[in-house]
Structure 1
């Protein structure tokens, strides 16, 4: 459903239709593309060095912002510039990408697109699903319920096979779960309790990669900690590794290695990162496991100058060693009748 279609249905609702804060938040996010009404920009006149945001690029290419976000993960879209809090595209890189993907025949298009795999994701732009009693339901159907919603998630239906909303919910169960892990981890836990199949094949390192790469501000770690506690509590492997494609390069990523991408600014971020690392180390995080090049996460952190990472690990190991020695001395003291 396009934003304009949502707006049309909204206008047809009775004046006394109940709208909670959750509904309003979902509506604002849904209607944002048409509420903004940005000033038109003549993209063809921009110099190659100009940086544009994903909204401008989506308008330029006639694609959705969500498609651009998926291309950045798969490496199939234009090259981009990643800052700590934003993503920008250099106009020259976009023009090169468009030129490279311009073809003269369907056979050339087939050959070229085969290299891009899942570049076209086959899904419509997502629509909000309102969480009521821990169950996602259609936005407008949720208005008929008397229970207070606890949040909302995003759902996309297949273009090639128009599905009912419930079908779309089923098809995107993993997507809802991944979204709720950060937005409302308790809701994600309840979803996993009611639909345990959501954990079948779920890989924490893939979720972390999509959330962390290429960098994550340390201030956001506290909000992600409940998700990691969920992984540990449900026996998910914190040290599994998955191969990812980044442009022309394929890398093997694990949570220990991905955590070297955290950016800490100031003492508060450092304290948050330290507490975060200590909790994961207690849960069995293996910072010595090698990547595809044989480097451990500790070595990667040292190579990039992220000195807080090995400092946390070394401090944790020293404390464990000292605690073990103290316990050993206590046992010996008790065996000797408490005499030094």
Structure 2
């Protein structure tokens, strides 16, 4: 059936074969983030023939993205296209048989809970631990495996989290330092991204084709520049008292009081704020703001400059304040123009 198809070389790989290819066609993968990791993960899975890929991202394409985020091009920057929309356009051109859904929104509990339905796997392509811990709790609650991934500088790491079998992210954070540096402080090189993606997508293919006996049960880390590679056995980190995956879970990061309303974005002098309204009338704001600034807009967002700051309003009520990491300053600008 598939031997003369576009997937013939993948089918010739014995662990996948024709049955694995059929299985891929029936699977749904949710990718949180459409930056460097997310866009590359999405491309590999779409080319592999996964039946449905859902992409969630809150940002739009910026010049600094083009160095490592391979789905995007200069026209996307000029047109201020949201990453999720630009990714969907490119992925559909790559493989029209794959159903790609794109959501330009923040990864909140409410939104992700709605999107978790019928998902077989979640891939982490985020840039902050607030979202990762939220994804971790949703994964545990709905028994959906997820694949953690992170990279900065020439360093990267990846780990497969299977509910009921492996330590979850909350377990790991009690024993292993996973954060610290950011691409804002030490930069990043594209090969580090691709190495993390290679680990994430390989493990994804194992899960999606039911080759779970081949899964890596260790935390993989590397530094390409220093020629270092390690595999750490973290099974001992599994905690029966963990609030996220233990015997009596409470899923603390799904609680309202543990959700961040303002966020400093990784690698950018940018703070994200949220409007209470989830469906913003962009034309209304564009008309009001044109008396104070030059406004550019498309169906997904509007942006304008005030002094050295650039503000971007999305339809889902998010505002990005570029030019500062100071949340207090960002809140002042936010309330100045959006109440």
Structure with the bigger percentage of helix: 1
TM bracket, shorter-chain basis: under 0.3
The structure with higher relative contact order (CA 8 Å, sep 6+) is 2
Q: Which has the larger radius of gyration?
A: 1
> Structure 2-normalised TM-score?
0.27
